[in-house]
Structure 1
Amino acid sequence: MIDSKPESGPLSQRAVTLGVIATDRSPRSPLPSAGRVLAVGSALPVLVLGGWLLAGLPLLLLGWFRPLPMLLAGGASAVLLCRYGLRRMPEVDGSATAGRTAAVFGIAVASGVFNGIFHGEQLLVRRDPGTYAEYAVWLARHGSLPIPRGDFGGPDPALRFDGMGFYGTDDGILPQFMAGPPMIHAVGDWVAGIPGLLLVPPVLGALAVLTFAGTTARLVGARWAPLAALAFAVSLPVLYTSRTTFSEIPSLILIFGGLSLLADARRRAAADRAGTDRAGAIAAAFSGLAFGLALLVRIDGLRDVLPVLPFAGLLIALNRISRARARAHGRTSGASGFADVDRRLGVPLLGGLAVGALWGLTACYTLAKPYAEYLSGSLKPLLGICAAVLVLTAAGTALAPWIAARRSLRQRVPQRVRRLTRWLPEAAAGLVVLVMAALAVRPWVQTVRRIPISPEDRLTADFIEKTQEAGHLPVDGTRLYYEDSLHWVFWYVGVPAVVLATLAAAVLVRRLARRGELGWLLPLAIIGWTTLTTLWRPGITPDHPWASRRLVPVVIPGLILLAVWGLRWLRARARRSGRRRAGPLVAAAGAVLLVVPAAVTSIGTAFSPVNRGEAAAAAGLCAAIPPNASVLFVERVTGDRFGPLVRGVCGVPAARVDFPPGTSLPLYADVARLIGRVRATGRVPVLLAAEAGQLEPYGTAARVVALRTRQDERSLVDPPDGTWSLSIDVWMTIPRLGVASVTFRPRGDSRSWER
């Protein structure tokens, strides 16, 4: 919703009706206007990303995810989406100037350069970034899944191919996560190997800044886009996830890019009152596609984009009601306010959403099924909610014309109920404030705990206890610290931003309930629904900055977007107060309060790269391993960290040797047997472990990795302000020929062996 009129060009429709500014129809100049440059530039990332993912999944399922097929299919898909998505792109609004547009692009470029300088090198599988990185390396160099186990002389009950971030299946090894981010990060490996892969996240971070600024320009105004871009770019979680291989930044580009495309679709539909131009419908379809593809990037994307389904159903219902009324009056449906502008967008929006979601669900079922089964405790209820929303949306859409035509139903509503509905706008606004207040006081009334009942829960509890000990906190492994989730947001964007966002949400909800405008309905639904569900149950290990990644796809950008709108609203009220300087003072003070608190929190880690040296360590390890080797890890942690790297980066088979419960090392007999089996295939057995003594029974060990670097801090009750040291050693031996190689036969179950 834009208060001020554009600086030049007539409006095709009143801004107060649509909440947007229509395309400037002034004569074309030799150069594109600043508003058009900002509109096109901020829409490009989501269209290119959508085209790449749209073509990438089928090729991956066919085993053809290679540079040439992806260049042809992915490039062509991206070009087609850009060709039709950017055709006659409307300007963002009349307040766009060359300086403001340049500021947005400058902030985006500066963000990419800054994060590129301080990027991380997380290649070892210690947490999710290592899994994503090794997933991307495998796709870049092999182009298919599952990952083969390799040659170890046949199956053996002591061989383990699963581990942290990877599942062993009957067909091979499957990475843990959705395939979208690795398909994007693989481009870097194709271009420049491991160094190129490590620089893809900063590039994506810069594109996220640009995309978010474009959304702000469309929904708030181009005047406010640079401020929003700066406040977003300096937030610590955005810096954190823009420096290594996470999934949150691509998800943000798809979701907020989808909102931008939908805003463009509404403006195009507003300009096409006759309904003859399909540009608005195409933009709505691309918007739905972007929302649906968010599921291909993160499985949580199913929750984030859920409001799109009932919103599309609402548009379809409005269209059906309009057509029914037109038929009843014997005329074609004509202009009827906001409903007429939006109603034509429902079907293409839903169609695009269905296609994107189909891609995501297909990838989940075929490439991430073990991961989905692991998350079944939370995924099944979410799928149930989605199914219920789908049924209610379908029923409401089908019955909408019948309900609208039954005036008797409205006449039967008691007068007392009618009077109560008059208070609905104020009640809705008050509810927004109450919810945020409840989240703010939650730490004083609730302590969130989880009693460990599974091996994964026990590992998490053990991790929390060790982190508590390191931070000199009371040791309680059942604590999850989720009650502090809104205070996490206070750390990363500042209390003023949250207050402004709450004010803006309350005002916008009140306007929606009173006037029924649709311009902010979907953005508010996505931001409100995802913020509430994320803050109530973040679903992540609560150490920081690690846990801050949960806030990146929607919560932080959504609150900044609302905060900027709230600042604009306060500035407008101050200007109407009659004091000449009140408006600029409010804007300046608000800008400082939006940027400074976030920057103060970020400054502690912004100039501290983590995991530097892992790329060199990986190269050294690969150089030490013979090219015809089969690697056996005789220690669990080293196997978890380096097994995927040995397979993907070094290109040789790798497996971990299982060990009896209650111990940390495998049986000598198991290792000796596997050494003999590897030798029988003509390959060279190589043993790796964390300490030289663990390899002593098999041969003389040499240290092949001596990594000394810094890692992320693990803070539970305060914002992170530094890094921790990290030391990792790997020792290697090629077993001497004298190692016993005895024959064993099974006894009882297949995991017990005797001579």
Structure 2
Amino acid sequence: MLAQESQTRGPSFMSLAIRISAGLLIASLAAIILSRLGHFSGYLVFALAIAAAMIIRPNGHERSPVISALVLAISFATYAFLYSSEDLDAGRDNGVYSLLAYNIAQHGKVSVAMPQLDDVIARIGVENLGFYPGIYGAASDAHAQFNHLTPALRAAFVDVFGDHELASSNAVLAGIAVFLFAIALWEIIGSGWWVFGTLGLIVNVAFVYVSRSSLTETFAVAAVAMTVLFVSLTLKKPSATNALFASGGLGLLMMSRVDGYLALPFLPLLTFALARHSLENIKITMLAISTTAIFLVWSVVDLRTFSNGYFIALWPIGLKQSVAAGVACLSVSIAIVAIAKLLPTTWHRYSPSVERWGVGLAKAFVPLCAVLAVYALVHSVVADDTRYDMYLAFTLVRAPRELTWYITVPGLFLAIYGAYLLISDRRPDGVVVALPALILIMLFLFYTRITPDHPWGARRWVPYTIPATLMLVTYAFSRFSIKHKLAAQIAALSLAFLYCFQQNAMAKNWWFVPLQSNWRTGYAALAAELTRRNRTFYLSTYSPTASVLTFIYGIPTVPINGKQNDPDVKEETSLPKVCGAFLEQIQGSNNDVEWIGPPNNVVEKCISTTIYSPSDDTPDPDVIPSYRLLAGWNAAEEWGSWTSGTSAGATVHVQSERPSKLIVDGFALVNLKSPNQTVEVYSGEAHLGTILFNVAAPSKKAAIDVPVEFLRGKTDLSLTFRISNPNSPLELGISTDPRTLGFALRSLSLVPDS
């Protein structure tokens, strides 16, 4: 059997896990059903969840103790009612996220105590509730996805979980996911090695799901763990309850993920594993099949109706292909049941042979996966002539990097080996868990090879791949430790260290560099670095357009914010655009360009964009742009640019290695409410000078002495402008402009002393 008995396994602990799983499942489904019917009541869902946990009897004779209901009540109440807010990005994902979260925000939110809580936190000295120094290091409104918590809750949770959407809800749900995953590992492995896999998932939850990803990711991890747990329990002890919840886990995956159909390989394998034991299991199997079929149809309806057009054509596979795959899995399962029921003698005669062939094919599939993984890695990493340079890597499809950041290369191959061992050891029951897990891992590997998307694309696969990988890796270590305990422990610790190291390094990758300092200023820094290296690149006013051009067409493109007025760029009209279901050519500026997605997919509404390319005019070799803006500036305007915040960077061209004057022409945002503004100018940590503005003199052309030691061996001098008192025109009553402004730069140059 898939599950091994363990001396340390306590029935009450397992019973608690089953009840929490079932309660979460029932509560989530109830929320979706009631939302669909337009009669959502969060408190009714809450009551149903508690009732489910109380009455479910997984052992057939025990009722849940009160503690399980209390645990479920606390978890679900925290997740569902307290920490959701009314500005949810409800169209971001289909299914559970948009329906559950949106309706909770509208109808079930406990918000009465929020003003009092904000007041209490303000009194104890928490300041700057709109800004947090987490992994993003940006203001809460830097991106729509990060703006889903009240200031009080951000202050309470950001230090632990990062400034991200529903971070506190993620924390609660991540805890449930980790708990369920630990139980599933315990059931499959039956040894102390389940602790290693659980710790690995905890690290990943801390790094990825809570700090950098969204609510639907942690929900999917819980659903994956729940599915694996009930699949293993169904194989161990076939029952209607276990089969129902196994298919319910698959259903939740399909409802909560746009590509949830990819978990369906569990179904035909589970059907065969059950049917081979006894014809008495046919009714149980049919229950699982019919439940999964309902979820399949339901999720397709959800996909079309409640995703705001975001996934009308399922990305990247396509809705028709995905439905066809789901129908194929259902058809195979039904065929297995029909043969076993209608031709029992034939079934019993040939099912052992089918089993042997199936196990043999599954074992042959494993080395094929290893070969494909080697090919993908060699093709994209070893053959990568960028030598792992994070800026030059911008011009290449990065994708198995996305995979290897999450699970590491050794982890990938250990998972493949673990799948082989699980299939070999547990014959055919091991196939039911190992083969779908391996399929998900390989699809993730090759999906990230073709997607033009930034981390959102791979993010949709992470909830499948991380639990599957850790499960198979843990099994490989547990088997290896039977004969080589010390070596297995050292190898496991080494892998854990490498994993943590790469998770930290991931934040320094080229794509995440912009996220370190805010989307806008980060891309400015990226563009400046590419310019310094004399790399040709394009500019786009919409980041998804930049992704499509970079990764689909091989045209390196950097997102920018706003119009460009530099003389060395021009508006581009010949580059391809993606919009509708076909490729077109841009007909001029301000054309509609599609949201992220490969060609031939309609993904989301089109929006306006402009693309810039290097100017065709042959530049005068003696005329070099005097300066370039780096991080910390608002969009360029006809006269120049405003700073954004308290600090802004720039480089100025060095004409000669001799003492020079830095000419700064600009003005400040001042009025009677804020009459003074001070701008300090630095090069590195060295202070070069100070520019003072006031109501009487809001505009100046200042000259600052620059000693020769700052200029030796340089073609450009790096500068930082530190603004003492930035404000918005809205705050000062000047206009309705909400931007934080301070100093406006018209021109900047470095003139050698005569």
Residue in structure 1 matching 2:2, options 15, 19, 22 = 19
Change (3 A) 1:488 1:38: farther
Deviations 1:101-157 (A, max 9, x none): xxxx9xxx9xx9xxxxxx9x9x8989969999999875444359xxxxxxxxxxxxx
Match of 2:528 in 1: none
Residue in structure 2 matching 1:239, options 186, 207, 214 = 207
Residue in structure 1 matching 2:368, options 434, 442, 449 = 434
1:666-705 aligned at under 5 Å gives the runs: none
Deviation at 1:366, TM superposition (A): 2.4
Give the Cα separation in 1 of the matches to 2:463 and 2:638: 43
Deviation at 1:598, TM superposition (A): 0.7
Give the Cα separation in 2 of the matches to 1:435 and 1:441: 10
Residue in structure 2 matching 1:290, options 241, 249, 263 = 249
Deviation at 1:285, TM superposition (A): 0.7
1:299-448 aligned at under 5 Å gives the runs: 299-304=258-263, 306-314=264-272, 317-318=275-276, 322-323=278-279, 345-368=284-307, 370-375=309-314, 378-401=318-341, 405-406=345-346, 428-445=362-379
2:29 is paired with a residue whose SS is helix
Task: Please tell me whether the aligned partners of residues 95 and 257 of structure 2 are also in contact (alpha carbons under 8 angstroms).
Answer: no
Change (3 A) 1:39 1:378: same
Task: Please tell me whether the aligned partners of residues 538 and 550 of structure 1 are also in contact (alpha carbons under 8 angstroms).
Answer: no
Residue in structure 1 matching 2:190, options 221, 243, 246 = 221
What amino acid is aligned across from residue 258 of structure 2 in structure 1?
I
Match of 2:459 in 1: 549
Task: Please tell me whether the aligned partners of residues 234 and 595 of structure 1 are also in contact (alpha carbons under 8 angstroms).
Answer: no
Deviation at 1:44, TM superposition (A): 5.2
Deviations 1:184-241 (A, max 9, x none): x99x879969978331122222222222111110100251221111122224x76222
Task: Please tell me whether the aligned partners of residues 4 and 188 of structure 2 are also in contact (alpha carbons under 8 angstroms).
Answer: no
What amino acid is aligned across from residue 20 of structure 1 in structure 2?
A
Give the Cα separation in 2 of the matches to 1:86 and 1:190: 42
What amino acid is aligned across from residue 142 of structure 1 in structure 2?
Q
Change (3 A) 1:606 1:491: closer
What amino acid is aligned across from residue 375 of structure 1 in structure 2?
L
Give the Cα separation in 2 of the matches to 1:128 and 1:202: 20
Deviation at 1:297, TM superposition (A): 0.8
What amino acid is aligned across from residue 240 of structure 1 in structure 2?
V
Give the Cα separation in 2 of the matches to 1:301 and 1:443: 26
With structure 1 as the length reference, what TM-score do the two structures score?
Answer: 0.52
What amino acid is aligned across from residue 220 of structure 2 in structure 1?
S
Give the Cα separation in 1 of the matches to 2:636 and 2:94: 25
Change (3 A) 1:283 1:75: farther
Residue in structure 1 matching 2:169, options 189, 192, 200 = 200
Tell which has more relative contact order, 1 or 2 (C-alpha 8 A, sep 6+).
Answer: 1
Give the Cα separation in 1 of the matches to 2:517 and 2:48: 37
Give the Cα separation in 2 of the matches to 1:128 and 1:408: 49
* Structure holding more strand per residue: 2
Give the Cα separation in 2 of the matches to 1:586 and 1:469: 31
1:37-76 aligned at under 5 Å gives the runs: 38-43=13-18, 46-65=21-40, 69-72=41-44, 74-76=45-47
Give the Cα separation in 2 of the matches to 1:40 and 1:132: 26
Give the Cα separation in 2 of the matches to 1:636 and 1:192: 33
Residue in structure 1 matching 2:391, options 455, 465, 472 = 472
Deviation at 1:70, TM superposition (A): 1.3
1:58-207 aligned at under 5 Å gives the runs: 58-65=33-40, 69-72=41-44, 74-85=45-56, 87-88=58-59, 139-143=103-107, 197-207=166-176
Task: Please tell me whether the aligned partners of residues 293 and 359 of structure 1 are also in contact (alpha carbons under 8 angstroms).
Answer: no
Deviations 1:314-343 (A, max 9, x none): 257447xx44xxxxxxxxxxxxxxxx6x65
Match of 1:674 in 2: none
Deviation at 1:606, TM superposition (A): 8.1
Give the Cα separation in 2 of the matches to 1:441 and 1:387: 31
What amino acid is aligned across from residue 446 of structure 2 in structure 1?
W
Task: Please tell me whether the aligned partners of residues 267 and 333 of structure 2 are also in contact (alpha carbons under 8 angstroms).
Answer: yes
Give the Cα separation in 1 of the matches to 2:156 and 2:422: 45
Change (3 A) 1:542 1:56: same
Give the Cα separation in 2 of the matches to 1:537 and 1:612: 26
Change (3 A) 1:369 1:505: same
Give the Cα separation in 2 of the matches to 1:506 and 1:536: 20
Change (3 A) 1:208 1:523: same
Deviation at 1:301, TM superposition (A): 0.8
2:311 is paired with a residue whose SS is helix
1:368 is paired with a residue whose SS is coil
Matched, 1:494 2:408: yes
Q: Which runs of 5+ in 1 are unaligned?
A: 1-17, 25-32, 92-104, 113-118, 145-176, 270-279, 324-339, 448-466, 575-582, 615-634, 642-659, 667-688, 697-701, 710-726, 738-755
Give the Cα separation in 2 of the matches to 1:598 and 1:509: 26
Deviation at 1:597, TM superposition (A): 1.3
Deviation at 1:287, TM superposition (A): 2.0
Give the Cα separation in 2 of the matches to 1:371 and 1:129: 8
Task: Please tell me whether the aligned partners of residues 497 and 559 of structure 1 are also in contact (alpha carbons under 8 angstroms).
Answer: yes
Give the Cα separation in 2 of the matches to 1:542 and 1:497: 25
Task: Please tell me whether the aligned partners of residues 204 and 249 of structure 1 are also in contact (alpha carbons under 8 angstroms).
Answer: yes
1:299 is paired with a residue whose SS is coil
Task: Please tell me whether the aligned partners of residues 411 and 495 of structure 2 are also in contact (alpha carbons under 8 angstroms).
Answer: yes
Q: Which runs of 5+ in 2 are unaligned?
A: 63-70, 109-143, 158-165, 519-539, 546-558, 560-585, 593-632, 649-722, 737-754
Give the Cα separation in 1 of the matches to 2:54 and 2:515: 40
Give the Cα separation in 1 of the matches to 2:729 and 2:91: 22
Give the Cα separation in 2 of the matches to 1:312 and 1:408: 17
Task: Please tell me whether the aligned partners of residues 258 and 291 of structure 1 are also in contact (alpha carbons under 8 angstroms).
Answer: yes
Give the Cα separation in 1 of the matches to 2:729 and 2:96: 25
Give the Cα separation in 1 of the matches to 2:101 and 2:638: 29
Deviations 1:462-492 (A, max 9, x none): xxxxx9999432775xx5444xx2x544443
Match of 1:166 in 2: none
* Structure holding more helix per residue: 1
Residue in structure 1 matching 2:495, options 578, 581, 594 = 594
Matched, 1:521 2:431: yes
Task: Please tell me whether the aligned partners of residues 289 and 352 of structure 1 are also in contact (alpha carbons under 8 angstroms).
Answer: yes
Deviation at 1:585, TM superposition (A): 1.1
What amino acid is aligned across from residue 296 of structure 1 in structure 2?
M
Give the Cα separation in 1 of the matches to 2:55 and 2:276: 26
2:309 is paired with a residue whose SS is helix
What amino acid is aligned across from residue 434 of structure 1 in structure 2?
L
What amino acid is aligned across from residue 234 of structure 1 in structure 2?
V
